[in-house]
Amino acid sequence: MHATYAFGILILISFLGARFVFRRKNIFSPLNYFFSSGLIYIFLGLYLGKHGLNILSVQVLEGLTPLISLGLGWIGFLFGFQLERKYLHRFPGNYIGFSFLQALFVFFLVFVVIFLALKLFFNSYSVFLLYGMAVALGLLASMNSPALLNAASSKIPEKGNYYYLARFLASISAFWGIVGLAFISSFWHFPFFESKIFEKGLLFLLVSTAFPFILGYFFHFLTLKKTSEQDLLVYILGLVFFVSGAAFYFNLPTLYVSMVMGITYSNLTKIHEKIYPLFLLTEKPLYVVLLVLIGALWDFNISYEAAILVALLFVVRIIGYVFPLRLFQKILNFPFPLPAVFGLCFLSYGGIGVAFAVSIKLSYPLAFTDVFLSSALIVIILSDILGPWALKLSIFRLDSEKKT
């Protein structure tokens, strides 16, 4: 089918999906949350792709790939727009240190275990590719999303220290993973160059950072005069699409580039509280389209080795979030205890995990990254299905124990 017809179908699906699926009923039912989170659209895309009806065929996907980049750009911009100084200053300084230590510990633990597993099951590939995949899965494991916590917030009548710490950590954890994505994209870009790999990678990273920073500052300068929020939304959408398109063309990490622009503009504008709700109105339709296209892009092929990889990633990630909490508490001198069960509230990946996974696939369209994408998407889906149960065992259990 021609890409234009496929695009029309995507618009219809995004309209219906954003209107009827993203509901917050009985959020602690894993099946309900799976549907309300929108991840079901990955399976719809899989059905519409080459493994099903073939409406979104390989040829059509080639024409719609820039649309995936646009979706990644909007997710990155929205995430970066949340990282405003005033928001970060609401929390104690040791919360940021906790976030960094947590992400670092999970990353290294998952990296070591996954690399050993990859060497055992995929020894026919070069060590360079194995290192790259282990790094990518380690970064993915260090990321989590506040979406589940946000959905459950109305069910928590008295939000205490555990909730606000979890909310902050989940909100900022993806920052470290996306920065890691920028390093992968920069220094893994030139594996076959014989010289000056470090210099070229550093230049690539510098361009990926400076380009959106300059554009964000320039856009703020152009919109200093009074502009209606609706017009500003249109201008920002156009700017994000332009930056995403440029990043796609030059093979820059779209998620990182847009995040930097979001952080820049968020910390310059004085109408953050007015325009952010408008941004959220556009998030769901674009998110639906992105998930459908990711599902169609997914070369679903589960082998024995990939299944073991999924199980290892899932289990080791939980261990990484649960095991070191007491140590972090001592290092950062936290005023309240951090029992191991608290780590279970970080199970959900949300859309940011999906965006990270497909960013790796788009940057490196290799057969080996199909294994990465399959493993990543299965772990993300499994984690978000079990996320409501894990949240009940963590935040809610801690709150009930505190009351008694």
Band of residue 51 on the pLDDT scale cut at 50, 70, 90: confident
Give residue 291's pLDDT: 84
Tell me the per-residue pLDDT of 297-351, one tens digit each, with 9 for 90 and over: 888 777 788 888 899 999 999 999 999 988 888 888 887 888 888 888 898 898 8
**For residues 111 and 364, which has the higher predicted lDDT (pLDDT)?**
111
Band of residue 284 on the pLDDT scale cut at 50, 70, 90: confident
Give residue 261's pLDDT: 93
> Can you tell me the distance from the alpha carbon of 273 to that of 262, in angstroms, rounded to the nearest whole number?
14
> Can you tell me the distance from the alpha carbon of 114 to that of 120, in angstroms, rounded to the nearest whole number?
10
Q: What is the mean pLDDT of residues 186-197?
A: 62
Hey, what amino acid is at 298?
W
Above 80 in pLDDT, residue 81?
yes
Contact 61, 293 (CB under 8 A): yes
Provide the 3-class DSSP secondary structure of residue 20: helix
Tell me the per-residue pLDDT of 224-242, one tens digit each, with 9 for 90 and over: 776 677 777 788 888 888 8
Give residue 10's pLDDT: 64
- Give the lowest-confidence range in 123-127, 163-167, 269-273: 269-273
Give residue 9's pLDDT: 67
Average pLDDT of every residue of the chain: 82
Above 70 in pLDDT, residue 142?
yes
Give residue 338's pLDDT: 84
> Can you tell me the distance from the alpha carbon of 218 to that of 166, in angstroms, rounded to the nearest whole number?
35
Give residue 226's pLDDT: 65
CATH architecture of 84-287+306-403: Up-down Bundle (1.20)
- Give the lowest-confidence range in 17-26, 146-155, 260-269: 17-26
Give residue 30's pLDDT: 65
Provide the 3-class DSSP secondary structure of residue 302: coil
Q: What is the mean pLDDT of residues 284-293?
A: 81
Give residue 227's pLDDT: 65
Which string of DSSP letters, residue by residue, matches 146-192? SHHHHHHGGG-SS--HHHHHHHHHHHHHHHHHHHHHHHHHHHTS-TT
Give residue 340's pLDDT: 85
Q: DSSP code of 345? A: G
**For residues 191 and 243, which has the higher predicted lDDT (pLDDT)?**
243
Sequence-separated (6 or more) residues with CB below 8 Å from residue 369? 133, 360, 361
Give residue 21's pLDDT: 56
Above 90 in pLDDT, residue 263?
yes
Give residue 356's pLDDT: 94
Q: What is the mean pLDDT of residues 282-303?
A: 80
CA distances from 256 to 167, 277, 322 (A): 22, 22, 28
Above 90 in pLDDT, residue 222?
no
Give residue 303's pLDDT: 78
Give residue 278's pLDDT: 73
Above 70 in pLDDT, residue 89?
yes
Tell me the per-residue pLDDT of 352-400, one tens digit each, with 9 for 90 and over: 999 999 998 888 877 778 888 889 999 999 998 888 888 888 877 675 5
